[in-house]
Amino acid sequence: MKERKPKIDARALVAKLSKEGTLLLQREIIAPLLPGGKIRTRPMSMVYEFKLKGDFVGWGRFRPLNEREVEPLGEALPWERGSYLELFPALRVILLWPSTDARWPGTWWAIPFNESDARQRFGFNAEPRPVFLCDPTDGAGRFER
């Protein structure tokens, strides 16, 4: 016999989403922002996409003005960037050369450092892929060791 899913209370769902929207406006968002890009975040159960009100490129701290726009508060601190990046799986890459496409400053072409790891964990092959460093002014200089 097929199990019945519990009925969703539409009013409770609307109330929950309204509460989440209110809480969202009280938070700061740490995120990288590329030229012409948008910021996405999922603080609770919904994904929100924001357009920037003002000028900013790079790692930043942002305050939501409403459920569609954010304003920049300043640059994100190194530990804030690290906390953000810890949310994602890491893949080491070898930077090859900067992209010549002027529409995407700060973009480099890279190959996986470990091809089998890239294939098993991410489904990538060894072909060069674009990597957005999100710091068009500094490029890859600070990553060299």
3-state secondary structure of 82: helix
Residues 33, 80 within the same domain = yes
Provide the pLDDT confidence category of residue 103 given band limits of 50, 70 and 90: confident
Share of the chain above pLDDT 70, in %: 90
Tokens standing for 138? 């500094």
Residues 116, 81 within the same domain = no
Provide the pLDDT confidence category of residue 136 given band limits of 50, 70 and 90: low
Least confident range of 12-16, 17-21, 29-33, 131-135? 131-135
Q: Say how many domains are in the chain.
A: 2
* Residue 4 forms part of a structural domain: no
Residues 22, 70 within the same domain = yes
Provide the pLDDT confidence category of residue 30 given band limits of 50, 70 and 90: very high
What is the reported pLDDT for 137?
Answer: 55
Residues 17, 79 within the same domain = yes
CB 58 within 8 A of CB 135: yes
| Residue 97 scores a pLDDT above 60 | yes
Cα-based distances in Å from 24 to 32, 42, 67, 105: 18, 10, 8, 31
Residues 51, 16 within the same domain = yes
* Residue 5 forms part of a structural domain: no
| Residue 74 scores a pLDDT above 70 | yes
Q: How far apart are CA 106 and CA 100, in angstroms?
A: 10
**Of 126, 110, 109, whose CA–CA distance to 118 is shortest?**
126
What is the reported pLDDT for 48?
Answer: 86
Provide the pLDDT confidence category of residue 111 given band limits of 50, 70 and 90: very high
Domain that holds residue 139: 93-143
Residues 114, 61 within the same domain = no
| Residue 122 scores a pLDDT above 70 | yes
pTM of the model: 0.69
Residues 117, 137 within the same domain = yes
